[in-house]
Amino acid sequence: MDLVLTGGRIFCADEALTVAEAVAVRDGRIAWIGSAAEAAAHVSAKTRVLELDGRTVLPGFQDAHCHPAEGGVELARCVLNDADSREACLETIARYAADHPELEWVSGSGWSIDSFENGTPSRADLDAILPDRPAFFDNRDGHGAWANSRALELAGITRQTPDPSGGRIERDADGEPQGTLQEHAMELVRDLIPPTTDEEWEAGILRAQAAFHALGITAWQDARIDDPAHLAAYRAVAERCELTMRAEGNLLWERERGEEQVEELLTQRVEGSFGRLRIRGAKIFVDGVLENFTGALLEPYAGTDNYGISMFEPDELQRAVVLLDSHGFQVHMHTIGDAAVRDALDALEAAAQANGQRDSRHHLAHLQLVHPDDLPRFAALGVIPNVSPFWACHSGYVDVLTEPFIGPERSARMYPFGSLHRAGARLAFGSDWMVSTSDPLPQLEVAVTRISPETRDLEPLLPEEALDLPTALRTFTAGSAHVNFLDGETGTLELSKLADVVVLDRDILDPGNGPIGDARVLLTLVEGEAVYADPALGW
């Protein structure tokens, strides 16, 4: 054997939830699994042996919904993800702007709507530090942006500018643009910013890849590719054999364009598949998010007659999904509100009727609200709930920005992961990074506790919707591998599968070892080769 890991808790993530003590790797594949006592028989002079001292070994994590290339690019820009207040955001921006006098536009991302009154930061705040240069910052969830007066002026946005379809220009009490742009209104400004260069895209992919490997992730699904340069950068990195991540990609279905765009997507699907890179998905945004009232609801937001924003008429969505399914695309839909979920399920049902059942593995991402009548439809249609476990806990987003606006009945069924699991659906986990942390361990902690690792003294959010730890671990490995179409070769530790493996610093199956979110990754292997090793390991 090339490598033997022994004396640990090997969680295989297979259907039987096997836990072994040792695993051996030969030629990049799992060659043997068994007890520590038997392991010695598989060690020869050329075998590397890692004594685990009781630590947990898992299949590599797979992130089924994230934005790694864009996130990797953003990491080189003004990052506000760690700035947790209005003051902290302005301080970070002022420092970044001062450090980068050469930039024509000051841009970045990661502000949180719970840092600002009404979730809408003002242009006046930005104007105070950036009176001359245009400035534009996406928020953490990517569904809204903050612009200064100069940026609005360059975009020609005035009090007379109507809200674009699928978007909203926030206005102050006098009717003037206030500085926050929601959903499709963001594009009015974003289209003016100099585009990301090829070099920036490639560096972004490699930056994110290194960061994800250090967190034990061996495969990701890039949830939205809508820039040809983004796709070309993946292809270039894959051709240079620098892609150690298994990367699944989704091409964006643009709502402004018609059915003729499918030809272009088919060409890109072929061009974008090489080595560990595979394009099989088409991404559709069915609605927005609840925090800015763009999530689409079956009943209006509490005390209003606002149903949110459905990006498509139901028949229009159905036509697009039937067409994409007929061409063999895996359809991946952003669905937050219960109306969006229903429209998406209806469209997928129509596709199955029109084109016949196949192993399509279509999936709905996020699922903040699912009407109880729709819960069994996931298993019945074979649709995968691709959910972001980190969001399912009490936080400013949930308690302040969502619950008061959807009322108690709907608040009592938010993020129904346990219900979906009990209804027979096969879940997958995605971080939605950079919206939220890409570290699977804190995400797993929330999946099993429904409490944020950042506020462990709070009550759980709907604890009956928690998953047990083996189910959660299996969801982040085998479940995500299933939606990634990588389950034939990865996702579990089983004989002859590829040795994509992660070693943690403790036994997370033993609750005596503290919260899961505090665990760390020591070693990540892709096909038996280390793509990350903690320096202390001396690998």
Which residues of the chain form contacts with Zn ion (CB under 5 A)? 223, 432
Name the minimum Å distance from CB 395 to Zn ion: 18
C-alpha to C-alpha distance for 517 and 500, rounded to whole angstroms: 21
Nearer to Zn ion, 223 or 344 (CB): 223
Alpha helices in 167-216 (DSSP H): 187-190, 198-213
Per-residue CA distances from 229 to 132, 195, 202, 204, 452 (Å): 30, 9, 9, 12, 36
Per-residue CA distances from 310 to 289, 296, 317, 363, 455 (Å): 11, 5, 10, 18, 34
Nearer to Zn ion, 66 or 188 (CB): 66
Name the minimum Å distance from CB 103 to Zn ion: 27
Name the minimum Å distance from CB 283 to Zn ion: 8
Nearer to Zn ion, 71 or 442 (CB): 71
Nearer to Zn ion, 320 or 434 (CB): 434
- Tokens 């399914």 belong to 325
C-alpha to C-alpha distance for 34 and 489, rounded to whole angstroms: 20
Name the minimum Å distance from CB 386 to Zn ion: 10
Among residues 14, 429, 401, the alpha carbon closest in space to that of 217 is found at 429
Nearer to Zn ion, 11 or 234 (CB): 234
Name the minimum Å distance from CB 61 to Zn ion: 17
Q: Which helix (H) or strand (E) holds 228?
A: helix 228-239
Name the minimum Å distance from CB 67 to Zn ion: 6
Please state whether beta strands 3-11 and 48-51 pair in parallel, antiparallel, or not at all (unpaired). parallel
C-alpha to C-alpha distance for 354 and 348, rounded to whole angstroms: 10
Name the minimum Å distance from CB 432 to Zn ion: 4
Name the minimum Å distance from CB 303 to Zn ion: 29
Per-residue CA distances from 365 to 233, 384, 389, 423 (Å): 25, 9, 11, 17
Nearer to Zn ion, 11 or 312 (CB): 312
- Tokens 């019945």 belong to 380
Burial of 354 (0-12, 13-18, 19+ CB in 10 A): middle
Give the number of other CB atoms < 10 A from CB of residue 419: 18
Nearer to Zn ion, 121 or 288 (CB): 288
Nearer to Zn ion, 223 or 481 (CB): 223
